[in-house]
Amino acid sequence: MSMYNIKEQGGRRPIDYFIFIDYSEFLVGYIIVEKEKIAELIRRISKLHHYKDIKNKKAYIQSVKKVFEKNAIMDFVLRHKIVDMRNNLIVFSDVIDFVSRNKHCLIFASIDNNQFIAFTKLLMAGEHTSHVKVIKESDLKKGSVEYRLSLIIDTKLNIERVSKQTRQA
């Protein structure tokens, strides 16, 4: 199913968890998805697109907000969090804690390009990260399962950002 597998002694093994860290202006967030939930999630997120590619952004946000609610998309996500950008260490520490608690599992992590260096420095400061495959978000193959899963946090961040802006106006 996934284009990413981690090479181990004796062959390749599929990834157990997928982590996506993304940001949108003043927000940063992550989601963690178990491999068992991917097939159902992919069916439920077919209407999601990358926010920057959308022409009528306001209508899109209103539409996908309803899709998230109707399809209970976040119920299929193991963990998620969105915080202000100034609190990005909270996101990083949550993800690194998850990675360290799941040393027996293979983990794929896609990190937003702007957060990639900071996150990988923190991750590599820890021990035993050979079970983690970390890539930049821009390296995701467009249309792949991983790319489509990354749209969940991208969309959720944009929904939250637009909602905050509307409340402040």
Give the pLDDT confidence of 61-104 residue by residue, as tens digits: 999 999 999 999 999 999 999 999 999 999 999 999 999 999 99
Give every CB contact of residue 56 below 8 A, 6+ residues apart in sequence.
Answer: none
Which whole number is the average pLDDT over 45-63? 87
Bridge partners for 136 per DSSP? 111
Are 29 and 23 contacting, i.e. CB atoms less than 8 angstroms apart? Answer: yes
Q: Which CATH number is 12-163's, of 3.30.420, 1.10.530, 2.60.98, 3.30.430?
A: 3.30.420
Element (H, E) at 81: strand 79-84
pLDDT in tens, 130-150: 899 999 999 999 999 999 999
pTM strictly above 0.85: yes
